[in-house]
Structures are given as C-alpha cells and as structure tokens.
Amino acid sequence: DSATAFGTLVSDMWLGKFDYVSPEAFHSVFGKQYPTFRRRTQHDAQEFLICVLDELHEALKEVRAHCGHRTRAEASRGSGSGTSIITQLFEGELSYSITCLKCKSITNRPESFTILSLPIPSRTVCSLQDCLECFFQPDTLTRNDQIHCCWCGTNQDATVKATITKAPQIMIFHLKRFAWQDRHRRKLSTMVSYPFSNLDLSPYSPTLFYRNAEYSLCAAVNHAGGIDYGHYTAFCKHPSTKHWYSFDDAQVTRIQESAVQTDTAYLLFY
C-alpha cells in the first residue's frame, strides 16, 4: 500500500547509498489509490501533500488499531477516528469566534487543520508575518454570508476571528500564490520573506501566550512557472548537520542558507 511504499522511499533516502532516490514506486502505488495524480500532468503540491498525509494517517491509524494500542479516549470515539503519528506531528486546531452584531452573543467553532493556507496581501513584497496578520484579522460577514443567530432567531451580520487553540509540532504554511482576479486565475510572484528561526505564533493563540511557541524553518517547497505549467523543487535542512540541501529532480546539492529565501516559495515547513 501507499504507507509501505512511502516507508521504503524514506528508508532508501536515509540509507545514503545513492546520489538520489526516485519516488517512482511510491507514485505508482499512490496513483492507484488516487487516480487524479496518476496522470503525467500538472498537479498542485499542496493538494498532493494533503492526500499523502490523509493516506498515511488512515494506514497508520489502522496499524495502531490492529495492534491494540488504542488509548481509552480513542476507544471511546470508535474505530472511525483516532490518532496516528501524522495527527501527532501535523494536526493543529483553530477556533473561530463568531459574534452576532445585533445581540453580541458569541459562539466558538473549532476546526482542525494540517496546513494553513495564507493569503498574500501584496503583489510585490511582504513578510510571512504580514500573511499571518491578514489570515487572523477579524472579518465581517454580511449579506449572503450572514450567520443564523440562534439567540436572535434570524440571519444576522457577524464578525468572525480565528485563533490557534492547538499548535502542531510541525506547522505547514501554504502561500496562496494562485488567486482569482477579474474572473481570471493568476499566479502571484510576490517576494514573501520568511524567518529561519524564532517564528512566534503566540500573538495568534491565547493558549500559547505563556509557552514557547517559536518555530524554526526546516523545509520549503518552491514552484517556478505559471498557472498551467511549472516545476517544483525543495529545500530541506538536515536535522543533524543543520546544512541546507536543494532537491531538483536528480540534482541534490548543498546550498547556503541565504539561497533558501526565494520568491518561488509555495509551502513552508516549521
């Protein structure tokens, strides 16, 4: 299955016997379960990553269940849910605080996530912090976006504000470079500057305010090209040596940290 093929791929990479390792076997197995990615056409790295994480979660969750290593909380939720190494590493939770502008009542709606998709508020230059500020700023829901207030009994204008109530061990940011403008989809080539260390998320989370909530960059996925064509590369930091490496098809080379900052960044891993 996909999890076994992925495990073999990771094992081959860490053995260090090869200059590079092809993911062809994993792609072939994964494509059988997700036919969308079987074709040799352009696909979105973020969508692919979500499917990979979901598939690994389901496979590894089943292994835990078969081995009988379920916690009491997991058992109470039944076999349809549970935790895995994927949820332990990548799953966080947002809480959306919704305030009715008429009666001022507040309701909170939790929502789990593995990837945060951040808007890019500029066409030229901005920072990751700018993107975070844009994502977490309060929004007003009016007209067709009104909420049904259970206290008022009718649809009402409201404000909504998101906060992080659970921060994952590994935070993945998706920079929304593909956007609609004037009914046409286009790619934003904005230079988004991002920190290599000390990324502080506590301003967006009341539960992290008194904890060490700082993250360090460990990898980035880059996309060069346009809407219907392009090329993906990756930068990854070795956990032991702290050296950065560029992965560009069969070319794996060590690079300077300064080269990791690029205007083609699409996914950031902290």
The confidence score (pLDDT) of residue 214 equals 84
pLDDT band at 211 (very low <50, low <70, confident <90, very high): low
CATH class of the structural domain 42-61+84-269: alpha beta
The confidence score (pLDDT) of residue 239 equals 93
pLDDT band at 74 (very low <50, low <70, confident <90, very high): very low
Q: Are 171 and 92 in contact (CB under 8 A)?
A: yes
Q: Where are the domains of the chain?
A: 42-61+84-269
Indicate the length of the chain as a whole number.
270
Alpha-carbon span 193 to 209, nearest angstrom = 24
Pairing type for strands 172-175 and 178-181 reads unpaired
120-142 pLDDT tens trace: 999 899 999 999 999 999 999 99
Torsion from C-alpha of 229, 234, 235, 237, nearest 10 degrees: 160
3-state secondary structure of 256: coil
The confidence score (pLDDT) of residue 208 equals 60
The confidence score (pLDDT) of residue 39 equals 75
Q: Which structure tokens are listed for 196?
A: 């290599």
Alpha helices in the chain (DSSP H): 2-15, 24-33, 45-67, 72-77, 85-90, 128-136
Asked whether the whole model's pTM tops 0.95, one would answer no
- Phi, psi for 141 (deg, rounded to 5): -100, 115
